[in-house]
A = this chain, B = another copy of it.
Amino acid sequence: MKISEVAELTGLSVSTIRFYEKSGLCPIIQRGTDGKRRFSKTDADWLDLLASLRATGMRMSEMRIFADLYASGDATIPKRKDALLAHRQSLAARQAELERYRTILDRKLQKYDEIMKDQK
Chief secondary structure at chain A's binding surface: helix
Judge whether A94 is part of the interface by a CB distance below 8 angstroms: yes
Judge whether A2 is part of the interface by a CB distance below 8 angstroms: no
Please tell me if the beta carbons of B52 and A112 are within 8 angstroms of each other in the complex: no
CA distance A101 to B108 in the complex (A): 29
CA distance A49 to B116 in the complex (A): 19
CA distance A2 to B116 in the complex (A): 32
Please tell me if the beta carbons of B105 and A84 are within 8 angstroms of each other in the complex: yes
Residues of A at under 8 Å CB distance from B?
49, 52, 55-56, 74, 77-78, 80-81, 84-85, 87-88, 91-92, 94-95, 97-99, 101-102, 104-106, 108-109, 112-113, 115-116
